[in-house]
């Protein structure tokens, strides 16, 4: 079964038709790029796939099972992880606290020692070399981005959506991010990569879907595409 399959997704904002019956399938372990001009509907589809926006029509399934009920945020987080352009961590809190907040939004009491140990395990699992006791605001851009990824995946999702994840990274940071994504992929994690940079799509992805004016235009192997921008 696909990591995610969306069919016939329709979304309107007033008189704007943001998605006009689009479909998208991402297989397990696939690196799938979503490209298209500003306003094509990419962000809206991401919002639908992550349970943030309720579509006016269409269906979403993860691993062959229907998506969680509307509003069941915790259940959606177990299905799909998302790294947005905007940071989802709380800068004043430590790495460990941020990871824990995501996993247990209710926030029951826990000893710091236990919290730190769990965070350390989670960071090790995703190969993130950061001290769980560090505050997010004291980390570099790249470390912060890696914590975002660990945070997003901490609920056990096998699909991660990355919306322009390279925007704040330098060339070295992008290379290290891509290395990390390839390692996750080797573990069977699928990703949907939204990018304005075709070069990054060529480097990282095997399949590309193009949107134009709220419609799905094509899905094709990256290997077959022309190399000029």
Residues 33, 221: contact at Cβ < 8 Å?
no
Nearer to ligand ADP, 38 or 228 (CB): 38
String marking each residue 167-206 x if it binds ligand ADP according to CB under 6 A:
----------------------------------------
- Cα–Cα distance between 161 and 18 in angstroms, integer? 19
User: From the CB of 77, what's the least distance to ligand ADP, in Å?
Assistant: 19
Measured distance CA(116)–CA(97) in Å, rounded: 8
Count of residues binding ligand ADP (CB under 6 A)?
Answer: 11
How do strand 4-13 and strand 16-26 relate by DSSP bridges? antiparallel
Contact, 89 vs 143, CB < 8 A? no
Q: Tell me phi and psi for residue 136, to 5 degrees.
A: -55, -40
How many whole angstroms separate alpha carbon 30 and alpha carbon 50?
18
Sheet of strand 81-83: strand arrangement = 81-83, 159-163, 190-194, 31-35, 207-212, 215-221
**8 Å CB contact between 68 and 75:** yes
Closest CB to ligand ADP among residues 16, 114: 16
Q: Is the dihedral of CA 219, 214, 64, 75 positive or negative?
A: positive
Q: Does 213 bind ligand ADP (CB under 6 A)?
A: no
Site map (CB under 6 A) of ligand ADP, residues 20-39, x = contact: ----------------x-xx
Cα–Cα distances in angstroms (integers) from residue 225 to residues 191, 202, 203, in the given order: 20, 9, 12
Q: Of 3, 4, 9, 18, which one interacts with ligand ADP (CB under 6 A)?
A: 18
Give the binding range for ligand ADP (CB under 6 A) out of 2-10, 13-21, 122-130, 172-180: 13-21
- Binding track, positions 43-82, relative to ligand ADP; x by CB under 6 A: xx--------------------------------------
Given 1, 8, 16, 225, the residue binding ligand ADP (CB under 6 A)? 16
Q: How far is the CB of 29 from ligand ADP (least distance, A)?
A: 25
> Using CB under 6 A, which of the segments 12-20, 68-76, 113-121, 218-226 binds ligand ADP?
12-20
- Minimum CB separation from ligand ADP for residue 42, in Å? 3
Contact 182, 205 (CB under 8 A): no
Q: Which of 40, 99, 157, 189 binds ligand ADP (CB under 6 A)?
A: 40
Binding region for ligand ADP (CB under 6 A)? 13, 16, 18, 36, 38-44
């Amino acid at each position: 079964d696909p990591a995610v399959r969306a069919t016939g997704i329709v979304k309107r904002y007033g008189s704007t038709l943001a998605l006009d019956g689009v479909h998208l399938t991402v297989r397990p372990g696939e690196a799938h790029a979503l490209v298209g001009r500003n306003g094509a509907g990419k962000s809206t589809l991401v919002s639908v796939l992550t349970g943030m926006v309720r579509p006016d029509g269409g269906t979403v399934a993860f691993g062959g099972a229907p998506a969680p009920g509307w509003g069941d945020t915790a259940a959606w987080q177990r299905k799909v992880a998302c790294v947005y352009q905007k940071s989802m961590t709380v800068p004043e809190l430590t790495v460990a606290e941020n990871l824990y907040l995501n996993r247990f939004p209710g926030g029951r009491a826990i000893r710091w020692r236990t919290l730190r140990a769990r965070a350390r395990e989670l960071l090790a699992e995703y190969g993130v070399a950061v001290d769980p006791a560090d505050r997010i605001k004291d980390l570099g851009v790249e470390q912060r981005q890696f914590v975002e990824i660990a945070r997003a995946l901490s609920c056990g999702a096998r699909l991660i959506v990355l919306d322009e994840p390279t925007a704040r990274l330098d060339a070295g940071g992008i290379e290290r991010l891509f290395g990390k994504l390839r390692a996750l992929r080797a573990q069977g994690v699928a990703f949907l990569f939204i990018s304005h940079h075709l070069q990054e799509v060529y480097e990282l992805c095997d399949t590309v879907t193009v949107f134009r004016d709220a419609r799905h235009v094509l899905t094709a192997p990256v290997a077959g595409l022309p190399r000029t921008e």
